[in-house]
Amino acid sequence: MGPRISVRAVFYNQDHILLCKHQDERGFWYITPGGGVEHGETLEDTFHRELMEEIGLKATMGDVLCIRDLISDRSPTPYLPEHFHQIEIFVEGKTPNFINTASKLDPAQIGYEWVPLERLDNILFFPAELVEMFKNREFSTIYQGHKL
């Protein structure tokens, strides 16, 4: 099986970032909204579908901010499936317009919130290794590779 491709939207509002909020035995944890590309979908189709499903949001897809590989065999964790490989494409989200309630939350998702950038160091945020890039809005290197 090949890598799964995921599109993740990054929205900033002043000094806040929009994150999906999840909860499990670790407590609360956060990720940028988005998800996997389905067969026959473009990246932009996925961007729009995932935002409607997870947040009830319409927006404009901007440029690619960065890309990273997530390979569970290189950094084993009980929260990722064995042999899981995902290529995550983080894109800028523009002109968010909340029009609906979320229609298809992920199993552990309990909502979303605008999180102050200064809090990213103090919450369980994924990808943790890219916190500084997200906090500083500094995406000078597009390909991030796989980081432990």
* DSSP 8-state secondary structure symbol assigned to residue 121: G
Are the beta carbons of 32 and 113 closer than 8 angstroms?
no
Alpha carbon of 45 to those of 62, 111, 128, 141: distances in Å?
13, 22, 27, 25
Q: What is the pTM of this model?
A: 0.92
Name which of 59, 62, 49 is nearest 98 in CA terms: 59
The amino acid present at 145, given as its one-letter code, is G
The mean pLDDT value of the chain amounts to 92
User: Which pLDDT score is estimated for 78?
Assistant: 73
Please write the tens of the pLDDT for every residue from 3-47.
Answer: 999 999 999 999 999 999 999 998 999 999 999 999 999 999 999
* DSSP 8-state secondary structure symbol assigned to residue 73: T
Give the model's confidence band at 148: pLDDT under 50 very low, under 70 low, under 90 confident, else very high.
low
User: Which pLDDT score is estimated for 125?
Assistant: 95
Are the beta carbons of 90 and 46 closer than 8 angstroms?
no
Task: Inform me whether the pLDDT recorded for 76 exceeds 70.
Answer: no
Q: How far apart are CA 129 and CA 135, in angstroms?
A: 12
Name which of 27, 28, 33, 31 is nearest 9 in CA terms: 33
User: Which pLDDT score is estimated for 108?
Assistant: 82
Alpha carbon of 43 to those of 34, 36, 74, 90, 115: distances in Å?
11, 9, 26, 11, 25
Domains of the chain: 4-145 (3.90.79.10)
The amino acid present at 2, given as its one-letter code, is G
3-state helix vs strand vs coil in the chain, percent to 5: 20, 45, 35
